[in-house]
Amino acid sequence: MNSAEIKEIYHRIKHFSDSFLGYPVSKDFSYQDFAPFLGICINNVGDPETPSTFAIDTKDIELKCISFFAEMLSTNMQDVWGYLTNGGTEGNLYALYLARESFPNAMVYYSESTHYSVKKNLHLLNIPNIVIRSQENGEMDYEDLEQSVALRRDKPAIFFLNIGTTMTEAVDKLDEIKRIIKKFAIKDYFIHCDAAFLGTIAPYVNPKPKFDFAEGVDSIAISGHKFIGSPIPCGAVLVKRRHRDRIANMVSYVGTMDTTITGSRNGLTPLFIWDFIQRHGHDGLKARVVAAQKVAAYTEEELNKIGVKAWRNNQGLTVILPKPSIALCKKHQLASQEDIAHVICVPGITIAQIDGFIADLKAEINAIPTEAEAVLA
């Protein structure tokens, strides 16, 4: 590939990166200091806690990242274990795999608002599952869940909870899950929280949603490229250590434990995540959340000013609105589903960009004739 081709591809991608509004991918980062690492094959093979005979890795840095996330999620490295993944889908797959190994005959309960990849994960793992209805805001319908569990109260249960649904950023209530568990005296259960987007946001929100290890959950999956920001998709999965110990085994070829989904793992993203953590820490993440919430509140308010019925769940970063035209969705890269679309105010989304979108939307609304005008025409 020649330099002209490389520049053309870069400018095309940079253009679309500057203009998107509908996806949870932060864009206020730069990791150019790490460019020299692109000349080395960094492979975090096997368990992050176990050295390997292949020493070209960043597993020491990976463990520092996991330790930070453990603290953020109200636990410690004695009680939980984790590793950095390729993203939320892998984290969910790993958690469901451990849940299946703990309770081979279990039924998985998840809502219809759950990310599309979860159905695929369940198919790959061949776990029986039931889709639960969602409420209008995207949150799980607990009445429907209760009825479904009541019919199968003799079976172990795996509860798959959304801590921020894909379209509306709805949070499933852990207290409701605990109530149902208690009501039907379910002894064997596993609770997983898919906190892909909100995993690094919710701990700094007031009031804080209940979803972390202090609340008794078994596993949590979060993304690194969504709110933190990374040029390479990544994430983390943290699980109670006893679940991980159940599937661990030694591999002599690489001299380390096999405890992850993929044998070879990306060794670059731990450097990015740890660099972010060192620069921001808990206080920086909290400030980042507050700043993004202000942009989201502005977006919601300005949309309502022009007559667009915009709303948010839990003062979130996702602003839901009626689906605009296909052309406008394409121009601003808005994700849509049925009759709604959303703007996600991740770091890097500016007020100027929001104003540009609202101006386009207002012009589109004004160009549509009213019912009376259509009759007169």
Summarised one tens digit per residue, pLDDT across range 133-190 is: 999 999 999 999 999 999 999 999 999 999 999 999 999 999 999 999 999 999 999 9
What average pLDDT does the chain have? 94
Q: Does residue 373 surpass a pLDDT of 50?
A: no
Report, as an integer, the average pLDDT of 27-50.
Answer: 95
The pTM for the full model equals: 0.94
CA distance 41 to 29: 23
Give a three-class secondary structure readout of 142-165.
HHHHHHHHHHCCCCCEEEEEEECC
Residue 372 has a pLDDT of: 47
pLDDT tens per residue across span 300-341: 999 999 999 999 999 899 999 999 999 999 999 999 999 999
- Among 67-81, 135-149, 362-376, whose mean pLDDT is lowest? 362-376
CA distance 131 to 129: 7
Query: Which percentage of the chain shows pLDDT scores above 90?
Result: 89
Residue carrying structure tokens 């975090």: 44
pLDDT tens per residue across span 84-97: 999 999 999 999 99
Superfamily of 3-28+281-358 according to CATH? Aspartate Aminotransferase, domain 1 (3.90.1150.10)
Q: Does residue 37 surpass a pLDDT of 70?
A: yes
Numbered ranges of CATH 3.40.640.10 in the chain: 41-278
Residue 251 has a pLDDT of: 66
pLDDT tens per residue across span 249-298: 766 556 677 899 998 999 999 999 999 999 999 999 999 999 999 999 99
**Range 41-278 classified under CATH 3.30.1200.10:** no
Please give the order of strands across the beta sheet that includes 129-132.
80-85, 235-240, 219-223, 189-194, 157-162, 107-111, 129-132
Task: Determine the Cα angle at 17 with ends 13 and 19, to 5°.
Answer: 120
Q: Does residue 55 surpass a pLDDT of 60?
A: yes
* Helices (runs of H) and strands (runs of E) counted in the chain: 11, 12
CA distance 74 to 85: 20
CA distance 317 to 295: 8
Q: Does residue 374 surpass a pLDDT of 60?
A: no
Residue 180 has a pLDDT of: 98
Residue 377 has a pLDDT of: 47
Contact partners, residue 133, CB within 8 Å, separation at least 6: 111, 112, 140, 141, 144
Numbered ranges of CATH 3.90.1150.10 in the chain: 3-28+281-358
pLDDT tens per residue across span 136-148: 999 999 999 999 9
